[in-house]
Amino acid sequence: MPRFIHYMFVVACLFVATACNGDEKDVDALMRSKVDALNKSAFMQRYDYAQRSEMIARRALRYIDDSLPSYYDGKLRSWNIIATSFFNRSVHDSAEAYADSVLAYTRKSPNSEVEKMLANLLKSRLLQRKCDIAGSYQILYDIEQSGLLKHNDKGWLYNLAQSEFYITTTTLNYHYRNKSQYQQAELLTAMENRRHELRCDYHQDMSFNYAIAYGYHSLCTDSIDQTLYVGKVLDYCFENLRLLDDSTRYSAYHLANTYQLLGFMLWNGRINMEALQNNNDRLMQISDLVFDAFGFDVVQDDTSTVADRTRYDQMAYAFLREATALFFQHGDAYQKLGSIVATGRFCLAHGDTATARSYFTEALIDSSMLNVAPKFEAMLYEGFLTSQCAPSLDVVADWTRHELQLLSYISQNEKADFVLQQQLSKARRGSLAYMIFSIVLLVLAIALFVTLLLLRRRTRALGRETAQLQAAKRQDVERIANVETCLSVLRHDITPFISYLQNEKLPDDLKREVTGQLIRTFENIKSWTNLSIPSGLQFNRGVVALGDVFDNVRQSVGNFRGADLAVSFCPTDLSIVGDKQLVEIMLRNIVNNAIQHTEKGSVSVYAQPFESDSRFVEVAIKDTGSGMDSETLENLFRADKKIKPSTDRAYGTGFGLILCRYIIKKHDDNTLRGCRIWAESSPAAGTTFHFLLQRAEHLST
């Protein structure tokens, strides 16, 4: 019933996905959920219903081909599930073909890397069944060296891949090669430590438990820790039986595996009686559980508490016989072959040739069990011969020849694995020597690096001290240069004023004009000093309304020309980014300069967005004065050039403009690059001064 409910849920998901309408993104999401639901259903049925698993995965592929051709992860997942379903039915060629399809797929997707790792692990399992031990190990070695297992991804797909890696590695060790006790124990300890974090679904959980249990069973032989290892085998078997007791998790495949492992352990003559007797209570718990949960009475008389070899052998035969029946119910040719070989060999070992013959004869009846695993087939032909199944001497000869061929093939593969192990051991030793050499070089390099670092720090400290001395020297030079420039320009600008003031016949209005200009010159000197000395005036950046600047400058300038000169400031609502005080100083200097050089006419001030670059505001001061020639215009903002007065009554023609140049440079350094000042003029045609400042509306740029 729970399986039926699960299938109905999947069908309901598909119906909802088909019925819903929406935009393309929603449709894709619904189609993806449909594909994912199908793949999940196929994945959950991969063991007991492998053929149905394949059919469902193929249906997912059809949806992808029809509606989601770019859903590469879904396609890779379907291919891996189909490969697994063929593997679980021992259709090895088809399983390998689909695994190769995953490995050959070139499209990149979020899960392509882990899907290819899963396909490689399946190929490693296929090579194990073919007894290609070296090839199987090479794949596992390459995966381990690739670093894929160290990813921090905690998704279920990565958990599945890492779980499969451990299971495949452990299977290779206990079925096909003799690893050292230490290496096997180390691997099993790592598996136990990661057992809970690598859970993907209950099937994988039981497979992981089985792999650990079988690993500990392989360690029991000739080990001083047999009691401990037998206890671990029984604990993991008990855990699997407890999981299988839930009807929603029942699996004939996993139950048969567990029964078979218990049979192997109880039959293993190299496990001493003491180890079994010390764990007899746990064994009886398992007996009670299988009877209560599955109706299987492994102990059928009143001597169930007798712990002797005969009793354990009887229990072993019961477990092996029941495992064989379950594997035949499951239908996997590989598992059927393995189970009849195990049960038949048990019967032969205990002198029951007739029963052994009946088991081995099953392989003659069902030929699908042949050619699926060389190791089991070699044991099968040995069983044929030992149990006297052959009807004639010719058949005996044929079976003997076939067994020898299989044993020779297995031996050759074992030699190839031995050679590979020698090569890898040599490579590891070389790597170890290289690593030691590298560590020595690294230590020397670190020592050299520390020495160089200390020298570099000392050099930097000396460099900083030198830079500080040079900076102090530059400041001193700059201060001297500023003082010299200030004195030179001051001498140049105030000389005419002094001459005019010494003229006793100078009209009072001109005396007032000259006095005012002299006062402004000294104010400019103060501003110059603050701007040019490094520790002087700080630039106070802000958003400045030009209308306020125009109003303040209008009130501070004096129109001593009277009615002959009209001074106008055009209204503006533009704002700039800059220092309000410096902008007012600059504009006041230019306006005063324009008034001074204009006998009559007009001086007009206006602002507008700069035509060539809207990030700037252009402020213009236009006068109808005497104008300038090209030489004067060229040297207008240079402190090292003296500017000729355009008229006899022109005062202070250089200092204020040099100050303006400094103010513009301050704005260019502290706001948007591109701030500048220039003038346009010709003799007798007036002059227009322009300067650019960053527009406040473009502050984000």
In DSSP notation, 38-98 reads HHHHHHHTTTTTHHHHHHHHHHHHHHHHHH-TT-HHHHHHHHHHHHHHHHTTT-HHHHHHH
- List pLDDT tens digits, range 25-47: 455 888 899 999 999 999 999 99
User: Are the C-beta atoms of 289 and 242 separated by less than 8 Å?
Assistant: yes
Q: So what's the pLDDT on residue 527?
A: 61
Q: How far apart (Å, rounded) are the C-alpha atoms in residues 577 and 545?
A: 9
How large is the angle between the packed helices 133-146 and 112-129, nearest 10 degrees? Answer: 160
- List pLDDT tens digits, range 259-316: 999 999 999 988 989 999 999 999 999 999 999 999 999 876 554 455 678 889 999 9
- List pLDDT tens digits, range 84-143: 999 999 999 999 999 999 999 999 999 999 999 999 999 999 999 998 888 998 999 899
Q: Please give the model's pTM, rounded to 2 decimal places.
A: 0.60
Short-list 64, 70, 68, CA closest to 82: 64
Q: Is 88 exposed, middle or buried (0-12, 13-18, 19+ CB in 10 A)?
A: buried
Short-list 290, 375, 390, CA closest to 341: 375
Q: Is the pLDDT of residue 20 over 50?
A: no
Question: How remote is the C-alpha of 347 from its chain's centroid?
Answer: 57
The band of 179, judged by pLDDT with boundaries at 50, 70 and 90, is: low
DSSP strand pairing (565-569 vs 601-609)? parallel
The rounded percent of the chain whose pLDDT value lies above 90 is 44
- Mean predicted confidence (pLDDT) in 393-421: 84
- List pLDDT tens digits, range 584-631: 989 988 998 888 888 889 999 999 999 999 999 999 999 998 888 888
Q: How far apart (Å, rounded) are the C-alpha atoms in residues 300 and 28?
A: 59
Short-list 443, 404, 259, CA closest to 339: 259
Helix (H) or strand (E) holding 542: strand 542-545
Counting every residue written for the chain, the total comes to 701
Q: What is the average pLDDT value for the chain, to the nearest integer?
A: 83
Q: So what's the pLDDT on residue 276?
A: 92
Q: So what's the pLDDT on residue 533?
A: 56
Q: How far apart (Å, rounded) are the C-alpha atoms in residues 168 and 260?
A: 19
DSSP bridge partners of 578: 542
**Which residues in 385-402 are b (16+ Cβ under 10 Å) and which e?**
bebebeeeeeeeeebeeb
Q: How far apart (Å, rounded) are the C-alpha atoms in residues 602 and 622?
A: 8
Q: So what's the pLDDT on residue 283?
A: 93
The rounded percent of the chain whose pLDDT value lies above 70 is 80
Paired tokens of 226: 């047999």
Q: Is 24 exposed, middle or buried (0-12, 13-18, 19+ CB in 10 A)?
A: exposed
The band of 639, judged by pLDDT with boundaries at 50, 70 and 90, is: low
Q: So what's the pLDDT on residue 529?
A: 61
The band of 564, judged by pLDDT with boundaries at 50, 70 and 90, is: confident
Coil, strand or helix at 227: helix
Q: So what's the pLDDT on residue 600?
A: 87
The band of 367, judged by pLDDT with boundaries at 50, 70 and 90, is: confident
Question: How remote is the C-alpha of 210 from its chain's centroid?
Answer: 34
Q: How far apart (Å, rounded) are the C-alpha atoms in residues 581 and 544?
A: 10
Q: So what's the pLDDT on residue 585?
A: 86
The band of 679, judged by pLDDT with boundaries at 50, 70 and 90, is: very high
- List pLDDT tens digits, range 446-487: 888 888 888 888 888 888 888 888 777 666 655 555 555 555
496/504: higher pLDDT: 504
- List pLDDT tens digits, range 46-78: 999 999 999 999 999 999 999 999 999 999 999
Q: Is the pLDDT of residue 650 over 50?
A: no
Coil, strand or helix at 605: strand
DSSP 173: I
The band of 491, judged by pLDDT with boundaries at 50, 70 and 90, is: low
Angle at CA 146, nearest 5°, toward 142 and 148?
Answer: 115
Q: How far apart (Å, rounded) are the C-alpha atoms in residues 165 and 159?
A: 10
Paired tokens of 667: 């704005």
CATH topology of domain 540-698: Heat Shock Protein 90 (3.30.565)
